[in-house]
Amino acid sequence: MKLENKIILGLTISVFVLLVQNQEALAERVIVNEQGDNPACRSAKSCFLPSNMVIQQGQDVTWHNADSSIHSIITQSQQFGSSGIISSGNILPGESYSHRFDETGYVNYYCVLHPWMQGLVVVE
């Protein structure tokens, strides 16, 4: 194999590996709640699983309602829009809500209907 072909092959493989790694890094992350209507989950930090999540800028997070109650996710941060609030509206049992985090920072969130349900998304 000629040196030129080896270099081209090597570069092609390198680009492919970088693209695959980037796709994995930006894969959607899921937060599940199974027992949020029970205030006891707050002390166990199990209202949202996981309750704290670190993601990369540009990554999507999906909150999935595996509970039998309606939930609603609210985040407050000066970094998101003019109001600083992201609101899911009602998430019915079995439904999900997704949001892409395009800015870095710490984003605290909670359920409007069950305010003891709290979590944190760290966007790096």
Q: Are strands 73-76 and 85-87 parallel, antiparallel or unpaired?
A: antiparallel
Q: Is residue 117 part of a domain?
A: yes
Q: Are 52 and 84 in contact (CB under 8 A)?
A: no
Q: Is residue 9 part of a domain?
A: no
Q: Is residue 81 part of a domain?
A: yes
Domain holding 50: CATH number? 2.60.40.420
Degrees to nearest 5, angle at CA 106 with 108 and 85 = 50
Distance between CA 108 and CA 77 in Å, rounded?
8
> Quick one: DSSP state of residue 49?
B
Q: Is residue 14 part of a domain?
A: no
41 torsion bin: left (phi>0), alpha (psi -120 to 50), beta (else) = alpha
Instruction: Give the model's confidence band at 32: pLDDT under 50 very low, under 70 low, under 90 confident, else very high.
Output: confident
**Structure confidence by residue, pLDDT tens digits, 97-117:** 999 999 999 988 889 899 889
Q: Is residue 87 part of a domain?
A: yes
Q: Are 67 and 34 in contact (CB under 8 A)?
A: yes
**Structure confidence by residue, pLDDT tens digits, 47-56:** 899 999 999 9
For residues 42-49, give the mean pLDDT: 83
pLDDT at 41: 82
In the chain, how many domains are there? 1
Structure tokens of 59? Answer: 């990554």
pLDDT exceeds 60 at position 121: yes
Q: Is residue 8 part of a domain?
A: no
**Structure confidence by residue, pLDDT tens digits, 57-101:** 999 999 999 999 999 998 875 555 434 567 899 999 999 999 999
**Is the backbone peptide bond immediately before 115 cis, with ω within 30 degrees of 0?**
no
62 is in which domain, residue-wise? 28-123
